[in-house]
Amino acid sequence: MTFSINIGTDTQANYKEFNDILNELFDNDSKYISPQFLRDAAFSSYVEPALKPTDGYIGVDSLNPTDKDIKLKQFYGKRHYNNNDIMSDSLLLSDTDIFFYNTKDDSDPNNNSTKLSFLSGTDYSLFDKAPYVKVTTLSGTTSQSYDWVNQNGGIKLTSNTYDVNLNGITFSNDIPNNNDLIFWSDSYNKIVFKQLTLTATSSIGSTGSSLSLISGVSNLNGYSLEFTDTRPLPTTWNSNLPIGTTNVNESINTMLYKLIYEYLPPLVELVLCSPYDSGYIEIGMNILIPIKYTITKRTNKIVNINLTNMISSTQLCPIINDGFLTQTGNLNGLLTPGSITNDFTLTVIDDYIPPAVVSDMITLSEVYPYFHGFGSTITSLNLNTYTKIIEPEQNQKINIFGSGDYYFIYDSTYNDLVEILDETGTDIISSSTNSLIMLNSPDSYWGPKEFKCYKIPSVNISTPGEFYEFKF
């Protein structure tokens, strides 16, 4: 602020800050400050500020003593964001009179919102929960939300003269009376408050059409049409009405329905199809696993069906028809690369409140196969001629027939055999030899992989064969 002698002239005192004058006024021994300077400072201090008190209030002045009305738009907030002016030509040419913008630092992550809070009262602890108006630019959109928020109280919209309109829906400004109901009036094209009145008649409604009676309390010949009781149920009627249920407040129709029609959640079943119904598959295979599913809708509609690690050739639609309904079909399980176990899950959700979420899950495990058969030497094993068994580590009972050296081969991570029992139950493991060998899958599923190999020499068994049992 400069202290001009006359508005509109270049004449001014030498003091640019009011504090400079105050410092010289300490004693003014040097007579630097003249009454003229004090006059100029006081006059300039009154004229130049835009905000100033006047006749009992604080107003905004144009700084022009000959025209005390503000003819310009008003803006409150920071002037720039990232070196860009907030006000623009389009805003200045608009019909808006007063603009508000935030006062946050440019680095503040909340620059997308402008918030005005309203403080009242003398309880300072409530100020943090003061009502506010906020405009926020929604992230990732070109839309803005306009929020009226009261964190500790209600919001009241009142119009004493005209109606209130919300998104094109007009509410009457009439004050409702006791027992008034809310109705849409086609005549007035707005929501009004009035009492439901029925003409005295011996009958209500007409044949072939429905009739709805709406009231706070419904009585028929003096008897309530509601079942209301706060006593706990002494026994379990069904899943709808378990023992101990209290505060029952239902219509008689609803109570009868709950008694007769017990709620039953849906049923779900998954089954692995052959040849994988054992639950095991050779490691390294990359195929679709055939799975059969069964869904049974019982009491409520099935509104959602979800698959995990499975796909269907046809769309699985909600089951919404009445009655107990069963839906079956085939799915394809997806193997997870690098995973030893694969879980397949089918989940259904009905429209019960709260909804029932029912699932079934099956697991398919990947294992290295067993190989067994006759061969010449351990170094020339031809796995294509051997019988393959896809099972985990467990005792194996095998029907053997043929002649020559017999080989029994399995994953080296499994334990050693403790017994090899022949047809008579005699343990012949002492006559066998075992070694570790590296093998590759004859189908290129895996390899090289270390296996344990047991050799029983000079076996000669004719058909139909004899059962040997290999025990871990």
- pLDDT tens digits, residue range 137-176? 988 888 999 999 998 888 988 888 888 888 878 988 888 8
Predicted pLDDT of residue 270: 98
Predicted pLDDT of residue 27: 66
Taking the C-alpha atoms of residue 226 and residue 149, their distance in angstroms, rounded to an integer, is 39
Between the alpha carbon of residue 318 and those of residues 262, 269, 292, 310, 434, the distances in Å are: 21, 16, 18, 17, 58
> In 171-265, where does DSSP find H-type helix?
252-260
Secondary structure class of 277 (helix, strand, coil): coil
Over residues 102-128, the pLDDT tens digits come to 999 999 988 899 999 999 999 988 888
Global pTM value: 0.49
> Which part of the chain has CATH 2.60.40?
267-366
Domain 267-366 sits in CATH 2.60.40: yes
Over residues 404-440, the pLDDT tens digits come to 999 999 999 999 999 999 999 999 999 999 999 999 9
